[in-house]
Chain A
Amino acid sequence: MTTMAPDAGTQDDAAYEARFNAAVAAEERIEPRDWMPDAYRASLVRQIAQHAHSEIIGMQPEANWITRAPSLRRKAILMAKVQDEAGHGLYLYSAAETLGTSRDELLDRLHAGRQKYSSIFNYPTLTWADVGAIGWLVDGAAITNQVPLCRCSYGPYARAMVRICKEESFHQRQGYELLLALSKGTEAQHAMAQDAVNRWWWPSLMMFGPPDDESAHSAQSMAWRIKRHSNDELRQRFVDICVPQAESLGLTLPDPDLTWDEERGHYAFGPIDWDEFREVLRGNGPCNEQRINQRRTAHEEGAWVREAATAYAAKQAERSRHGYRAPQDQQQGDTQEEDIA
C-alpha cells in the first residue's frame, strides 16, 4: 500500500480513512509510512508491545532451569531457546518502533505495570518437566495464536511473525520431545511429566484470552485484520490438536469433561476458571510480583552499564569529529595484534 501521510494537517482524513479501509479489505499490507487511523496505531502498539514483553518476561520461567538442566544436550537446547526469546523480543520491539514509539518507552511502561505480558508467565516452573510442558503447551498455544498473525494487516508485524513462528514451532517440537523422554523414562520421570501437564494445561487454555463475548478488543481487531480468528475458535483449534498429542505422549489432560463431540467434529472440554484468569491478570498470580521485580532489578542494576556505553559512544563521536587520536592509541602498534577499537 502506498497511501502516504498528508504533508500538512489540512487534508481531509476521511479520504485517507477510506483508502486505508479499502487497502485492508483488499488484504494489502499497511506499511510504517502509510496513513493509518490513530486507534489502529494505538491498538497495534499495545498488542506488539505486550507480545514483546511476553517474550522477555517469558525468558524467566525457563531460565530458572538453565543451571539445573539434567544433561548437557538439554542444557544447550534450553540456552538456545532462551536466547531465541530475547531475539524475538528484539524483532518485536523493532516492529513496535516503526509505529513511532521506542523500546525504552515501552520497557518503562512494562516496569511501571502499565503494559501487560502474557498471563501464563506468572506461573512458576517447579520441576524440570515444566520446561517440556512450556515448550509443548505454551509454545503450542502461542503458535496457534500467532500463525494467523503472519497474515496480519500491518506489514512489519506480519514479517516479524513469520520469523518468530518458525523458531517457535521448533521449540514446541523440542518441548514435546523432552516430555516424551520423561514419559517413557523411569516411573519418577513419568510422574514428573504428568504433574507438569496437570499444572500447565488450564493456564495454557487461558492464553487465548477471555471468551468471545467478553473480549474487549476482538471485534475491532478482526475488522482491521490484525486478528483473524476469535479467541474461542483458536482455543478450540488448540484443544483439537493437543488431545491426540497427549495420547501419543502417554499422558492425560486434567479435564474429566474432555470428550469427542461427534456432532461438532471437535473435542468438548470443561469450564475454564475465569476467576483465576482475572486474578492473574490483576497482578495476583503466583509469580506476578517476582517476574516484574526481576525485570525491574535487571534494568536498574544495568543502568550504569547503559550509561557507560552511551558516554563512551559520545566520546568516540567527539574524537572522530576532531580527528583526535588518543596518545595511547598511537603507541599501541607494537603490542597489539590487531586494532580492537
Chain B
Amino acid sequence: MNPAPASAALALGDDALVLSHRLGEWAGHAPVLEEELALANIALDLLGQARVLLSLVGDEDELAYLREERAFRNLQLVEQPRGDFAHTIARQLYFSSYQRLLYEELAQGDTAIAELASKAVKEVDYHRDHAEHWTLRLGDGTAESHQRMQQALDALWRYTGEAFEPIEGLAVDWATLRARWTDRITAVLRQATLTLPNGPQSGAWAAGGGRQGVHTEPFGRMLAEMQHLHRSHPGATW
C-alpha cells in the first residue's frame, strides 16, 4: 500500500467533514422521525470517512479544529447552509452522485485512499439512493414540493462545476467522471419531472475556489461554531 497523497486526502476528508457537520444541523429539526435517523446516519458515515482521511494527513482534531477557513480544501457545495429540506436533498444528490462515482474509481488504486474508498463506496451508494428517492418524491410529489425542489437544484447548480476540477495527486479521468455524473443527474431529474438547471456550473469568481481554500461567507461562521470549544481549551484532551 502506497502512502496517500496528502493534498488529496485533505480535499476528500474536508468534503466529508464539512457535509457531515451540515447534516448534523438537522438533528431535532427533520420533517419526520425516519429522516432524523437517515440524516444522522449519513452524517455519521461521512464523519467516519473524514476521520480516516484526515488521519492519513495528520492529527484529525488538529486538522479539523485548528485550521482556519483559508486552509480548508472542501468544495463550496458541501459548506452551503442546510436551507429547507429540498436544499439539503439537492446538495446531497449532487454530492453523493459525485462521491459515488469518484470513490468507485479511487477504489481501483493502490493507496490508503483506495482502501477507504472501497469501504466507503457501499455507504455512499446508500446516500445516493436516499437522495435520489427524495428527489423523486419531492419532484413528482405536490406542486409545492416540485417548485421547492427545482429552486434548490437551480440555486446549488453553480457549485457543481468545481467538483470536477482535478485534485492534485489523484489519477482520475475528470472529464469522463463529469459526463457520467451529468448523465446520472439528468436521468434522475427527468424521472422526477424536474429540469436540469441550465445556468453556468460555476461563477467566474468561484471556479475551483474551495479546493484552493477560497470559500463562501457562511463557511467562516460554521467553523466558528465548530471550533469554538476546542480552541477555548488549548492542549486539553476530551
Complex CA gap A4/B193 in Å reads: 50
With a 10 A CB-CB cut-off, give which of B54, B137, B138, B233 has the most chain A CB atoms: B137
CB <8 Å contact, B28 and A294? yes
Q: Does A248 contact B (CB under 8 A)?
A: no
Q: Tell me the nearest residue of chain A to B48, going by C-beta.
A: A76
- A62-76 contacts to B (CB < 8 Å): 63, 66-76
Q: Does A170 contact B (CB under 8 A)?
A: no
Contacts of B235 in A (CB 8 A): 186
**Nearest CB of B to A94, in Å:** 11
Which of A72, A299, A328 is B64 in contact with, Cβ under 8 Å?
A72
Which of A66, A73, A76, A86 is B37 in contact with, Cβ under 8 Å?
A86
CB <8 Å contact, A79 and B138? no
**Nearest CB of A to B44, in Å:** 5
Q: Does B187 contact A (CB under 8 A)?
A: yes
Which of B21, B32, B132, B238 is A306 in contact with, Cβ under 8 Å?
B32
CB <8 Å contact, A83 and B141? no
CB <8 Å contact, A188 and B233? yes
With a 10 A CB-CB cut-off, give which of A297, A301, A304, A328 has the most chain B CB atoms: A304
Contacts of A332 in B (CB 8 A): 187, 190-191
CB <8 Å contact, A337 and B184? yes
CB <8 Å contact, B237 and A76? no
Interface-side segment among A200-208, A254-262, A272-280, A309-317: A309-317
With a 10 A CB-CB cut-off, give which of A186, A305, A331 has the most chain B CB atoms: A305
Contact A79 to B64, CB < 8 A, known contacts A70-B238, A335-B187, A337-B184: no
CB <8 Å contact, A82 and B27? yes
Complex CA gap A298/B34 in Å reads: 13
Contact A83 to B31, CB < 8 A, known contacts A67-B225, A76-B51: no
CB <8 Å contact, A311 and B141? yes
Q: Does A112 contact B (CB under 8 A)?
A: no
Which of B44, B61, B193, B228 is A83 in contact with, Cβ under 8 Å?
B44
Q: Tell me the nearest residue of chain A to B146, going by C-beta.
A: A308
Contact A83 to B41, CB < 8 A, known contacts A75-B47, A294-B29: yes
Contact A340 to B225, CB < 8 A, known contacts A305-B31, A308-B142, A315-B140: no
CB <8 Å contact, B34 and A90? yes
CB <8 Å contact, A309 and B137? yes
**Nearest CB of B to A134, in Å:** 14
CB <8 Å contact, A59 and B27? yes
CB <8 Å contact, A67 and B48? no
Which of A188, A307, A335 is B145 in contact with, Cβ under 8 Å?
A307
Contact with B along A321-341 (1 / 0, CB 8 A): 000001011011001110011
CB <8 Å contact, A72 and B142? no
Q: Does A37 contact B (CB under 8 A)?
A: no
Q: Does A128 contact B (CB under 8 A)?
A: yes
Q: Does B178 contact A (CB under 8 A)?
A: no
CB <8 Å contact, B27 and A63? yes
Q: Does B165 contact A (CB under 8 A)?
A: no
Contacts of A189 in B (CB 8 A): 233, 236
Contacts of B144 in A (CB 8 A): 304, 307-308
CB <8 Å contact, A72 and B233? no
Q: Does B115 contact A (CB under 8 A)?
A: no
Q: Does B110 contact A (CB under 8 A)?
A: no
CB <8 Å contact, B136 and A302? no
Q: Does B123 contact A (CB under 8 A)?
A: no
Complex CA gap A83/B47 in Å reads: 14
- B199-238 contacts to A (CB < 8 Å): 225-226, 228-230, 233, 235-238
Please provide the 4 A-B residue pairs with the shortest distance between their CB atoms, ordered closest to farther: A302-B31, A308-B141, A308-B145, A63-B27
Other A-B contacts than A60-B28, A298-B30, 13 sampled, CB-CB below 8 A, are A59-B36, A67-B24, A71-B61, A72-B54, A74-B238, A79-B24, A79-B47, A82-B27, A128-B229, A302-B30, A302-B85, A305-B31, A332-B191
Question: Which A residues are closer than 8 A to B by beta carbons?
Answer: 56, 59-60, 63, 66-76, 79-80, 82-83, 86-87, 89-90, 93, 103, 128, 178, 181-182, 185-186, 188-189, 294, 297-299, 301-312, 315, 326, 328-329, 331-332, 335-337, 340-341
- Can you show 23 pairs from A to B with CB atoms below 8 A apart? A56-B33, A63-B27, A68-B226, A69-B229, A70-B230, A72-B51, A79-B24, A79-B43, A80-B44, A82-B36, A83-B36, A83-B40, A128-B238, A189-B233, A301-B31, A301-B84, A304-B148, A309-B137, A332-B191, A335-B184, A340-B187, A340-B188, A340-B191
